[in-house]
Amino acid sequence: MAAMSEHARHQEAFEAAVKAQADAAKPTVSAFATANAGSGKTKVLIDRVARLLLRREDGRPGAEPDSILCITYTRAAANEMLTRLFRTLGDWAVKEDDSLRETLAKLEGRTAESYSRDDLRDARRLFARALETPGGLRIETIHAFCARILRRFPLEAGVVPGFTEMEDRDARALWQAAKERAILEAASAAPEDLALITREAMNEGASSALDALKGSGAAVMRFAERHDFVIEHMMEALRGDLGASRETPEEILAAAMGDALPREVIREALRALLSGTTTDQKRAEALEQTLAAETPGAVWAAYAPFFLTEKGEFRAQNPYTKKTGELCPLLQEYFQVKDGEGRETARVRALVETLQRARAFARTAALIRIGLPALEAYRDEKARRGALDFDDLIQKTRELLEAEGMASWVLYKLDGSISHVLLDEAQDTSPEQWDLIRALTNEFGAGEGRDYSQDPRTMFIVGDEKQSIYSFQGAEPERLLKETRRLTERMPGATGVEMLMSFRSAPEVLTFVDTVWNRSPPIDVGIGGAPPQTANDIQHTARRWDQHGAVEIWPIEPKVPDDETDAWERPVDVVRATSPKAKLAAGVARAVRQMIDRGETIWEGKAERAMRPEDVLILVSKRQGGLFDSLITALKAEGLPVAGADRLILTDFIGVQDCLNLMRFATLDLRDLTLAEILRGPFCGLVDDDQYLFPLASRRAKGETLWSRVKASDDPDVQRAARFLQGLFDRAHLPPYEFLSHVLDRVGEGGLTGWELLNARLGTPARDPIEALLSRALGHDSTGPSSLQSFVAAMEAEAVEIKRDLAEAGREVRVMTVHGAKGLQAPVVILPDTTSKPKTSAPAVLASANAVVWSPRKDTDAEASKRARAIAETKAREEHRRLLYVALTRAQDRLIIAGHWQGQAGEGKTGYEKDSWYALCDMAMAALAPEDFELGLRFGKVSVAGAGGASANETPSGGLPGWALTPPQADPVVRKLSAPTSLLGPKTRIVAPFDAAREERLKRGRAIHALLQYLPELPEEKQEAAADAYLSRDGELTAAQRAEMKAAALGVMRDPALGAIFQPGGRAEAAIIGRSPELPEGTVINGRVDRLVVTPAQVLVIDFKTDQPAPDRPEDVADTYVAQMAAYWAVLKTAFPDREVVAALCWTDGPRLMRLPEAQLLAVLTSARGMV
């Protein structure tokens, strides 16, 4: 009975959620919907558009397709809505009558019988009507809408007909030029202003100050427009906002540190302090320097530390000890801070405030005097080129629609008026965009607009202030509340709808989300303006109430003790393998690997199935800092397919660097480094430094280039590379796109195209960046005369970022930022980047009441900028919390919180910072009574396929046909290349500790192998010198290590008992590829042996081993070594059936040769065949 009651309760909640969606989609009523994450807002938008198009129940026609405007936040969202809407309308077009009636009845909440044949006919025609609408259905971003309006009315809007929309890179280049020109002009016309902003910007320089001014967005332009760009009027408004006097900082100091300075009082205070304690005497130094200083600036520089800390804040304690203050009442009268202010303390406090205001005015005025002409030049140059950036599109359209009488005329001319506006992701709409939408809908709900086409004009807004995370693009979630109030006031019958039920996440995930949000510090409604009913008290209901999920929180990855860090300095962007970030990344990757290997399950529909890589989404707060790259590297190391970065700097990609190097070389950039990179790259493939680059580069005469050595080489591989490179010179005259196309599409001497060579070396992820490079080359060609040099220079000058669409999981693990994952979801979400505190730094240019103030640091704040900074920092903390909400709600079934150590280690340290995501999640988890498990704490449960009722492929109830129970016939064996050690079969993966001793052993083994590969080819008298030269290339080897390695290699070569190894007919590093009846069916061995000697009577296959100590008997040899040699032996026995094949290991520790008995080799092969 209890179970039935619970089911009934959830069914009631579901019916309420369905009703809320239906109310939000009602076409005749304006509405504002607050939609929790996963509550189906996209479905509601599509349902509302579909219902707007349908014939009304009273027989009135539905809305015309071109009268509906749906504004989305991104093009991807617009495309998704269009796809889903056309799929819906397409389904209606082909449905049978009864089925269509049921579908429409469910959508509109009517009875199926109420739909006439005319209703059905009109519904079926909607698909064709939508397709035939000029310009298509208007589901678009606000920028696309503005561009369409401006192209239709360019003269009315004051823009150039046929204007172009500027790419970000072009806008940056244009601004850079305007900025540089303004700085150059200021250097001669206003050197004092330039010196001031350069000094105030400190290490950032004047250029960054101008960037900050432009980055303040619409605030500075609104400020300028209010005063018609007249700088004198702007200065007066700025002075009023700051409360600054008309005196300059220098004049203020001259007065305050001149006659107003109480020198006799200071002398008496100095005498008292010098007679006091050591602390008093230390304080007296400031007063001594004050009396000794000569200029007002120097006096203040000496005097200020007596009152102020290094941060510019007033000291909390009196600048004298208690006893000294009692002995000298003058100190208390003038300099007291605690328990009342002394006279001089009060004067200095007032001086500091006056100076702050004056300095804020001076530096902001200087920045505006230099920066405003730069902004105007930037604007004028855009106009000259007939180009608009994204901000211009919004501004020009808003100005057009706000012009008196213009909005209604524009809307009337737009092929029939816009009667219905739908706004998606309203919480991310900026104030300028809201102004535009307000201008667009001002007539809605008033006068004639109410009865347009016998149907009320409607406005639908859907958003969620908890998901507003784009403040850097101007979003202000508090504006959402203001606009919804306006909507209800202006639109009769407008209603609010709450969509609380999540159709995405499991109950445990939603419970955790509610607990995190409701237990975290409350949002300041007074500053942030979030609606009180949802700001600090939220509750999600779960549609999937009967499908379990889990939330896990793992312990913080500990900090590496100081004695475990590297003894040498690494580049700042390299993450040590032992660092908390690298260890956390490895732990996350290992855990994902284990989840998949164990068959842990997620939900798909009503059944559970085993996890796959594409079910995992890993979210970080930023791409910088090393964790992002470490995660991708660690996932690849675990053999997991990973989608790679969702954003790439084009020139950081190695394949792009290879292509640019070819262009550099073709234009006679013959530097050795450029050529060496090309030779080792995919197009030439000379990857073995010891075989190719070292012989080419070493022992060159003075002035001899690597290119000349390449051309003179008689090595066939090097000659082939030389011919390829020579061909580049012949095409150096081509435009960049044609040059790259030739390189990529041409079939080379090896029978492969450039595309195939890149793919073979770098894999399929190489294609996206190379195609982006081709696109850039094509665009460069179209801008005018172009050359390879100009294209390479342009690519080097700009960090071109490409965005990869990871919305669809494919079959790979995805690693993304939280911002990039907005709108996405995944069965398993991992948050490893949770321990840092929110970034609350305010912008350098802050909006005051009627102006803008430049305050690059806190210690430069005046009262106006201090207030603005406090508001900005509070909003940043709010957004940090909202970003966590977005991250948590991406999870469908399983949510994992992890983190790396942040801050100092030591007793009482937690490893995470206050107000960090980890702190909030840890507090929430403690309130949910979680259970311990091997990795941390878990709330909820995890199933494993085949255990506890879960299965990888759940069988539906009912009988199955006989063929479904018949095992399929085995497919023919597919032959694949295998490593020799694959004969041992799948083994439990063992990761050896990567300690210093193991690294030394590996280094020793590689060096001795290399010597044994190359030294036998040299005359004996040159071998020692060559060995010394080779080993000296590794600067980390000691003299003793080099001597031991050389002795080991030469000992093998000069031992008479081992002479057979180096006899004529022998080959070093011989490739062995082939099959054998002795091998498991379908196995093709692909390996490389250290030494192969083929004589008329015998084939000798040898591998050098550097183990210390070497085993004494063949039966003590490691299984992997025996399997390796058995594979080679089997392939060679098949290839040389008429000769004796001997497999042997040559131990350099001795040295001695150990022949492996045939019986031992056959035993390994027999065992391998038995495992198949």
Question: Binding site membership for ATP: which residues?
Answer: 35-42
Question: Tell me, what DSSP letter sits at residue 622?
Answer: -
Q: What angle do CA 705, 708, 709 make, to 5 degrees?
A: 90
Residue 431 CA to residue 433 CA, distance in Å, equals 5
What pairing do the DSSP bridges indicate for beta strands 607-610 and 801-803?
unpaired
Q: Which residues pair with 32 in a beta bridge?
A: 461, 496
Residue 288: HSE in the Cβ half-sphere, 13 Å Cα cutoff: 10
Which contiguous run of DSSP H or E holds residue 1060? none
| Residue 638 CA from chain centroid, whole number | 22
Residue 594 CA to residue 988 CA, distance in Å, equals 12
Q: What's the length of the chain?
A: 1172
Residue 829: phi, psi to the nearest 5? -120, 130
Residue 538 CA to residue 690 CA, distance in Å, equals 65
The tokens for 4 are 């039935």
CA distances from 508 to 201, 718, 833, 884 (A): 50, 63, 22, 17
Binding site members: 35-42
Contact 1141, 1101 (CB under 8 A): yes
Residue 846 CA to residue 778 CA, distance in Å, equals 41
Q: Which residues pair with 603 in a beta bridge?
A: 608
DSSP 1092-1120: EEE-SSEEEEEEEE--SSPPSSGGGS-HH
3-state secondary structure of 521: coil
The tokens for 433 are 């965009």
DSSP 201-265: HGGGHHHHHHHHHHHTTHHHHHHHHHTTT-HHHHHHHHHHHHT--SS-HHHHHHHHTTTTS-HHH
Question: Tell me, what DSSP letter sits at residue 615?
Answer: G
Q: What angle do CA 803, 147, 483 make, to 5 degrees?
A: 90
The tokens for 791 are 């294209």
Residue type, 641: P
Angle between helix axes 296-303 and 249-256 (nearest 10 degrees) is 70
Residue 1125: phi, psi to the nearest 5? -70, -35
Q: What angle do CA 70, 76, 79 make, to 5 degrees?
A: 55
Task: From 678, 648, 676, select the one nearest 799 (Cα to Cα).
Answer: 648
DSSP 426-447: GGG--HHHHHHHHHHHTTTTSG
Q: Which residues pair with 499 in a beta bridge?
A: 35
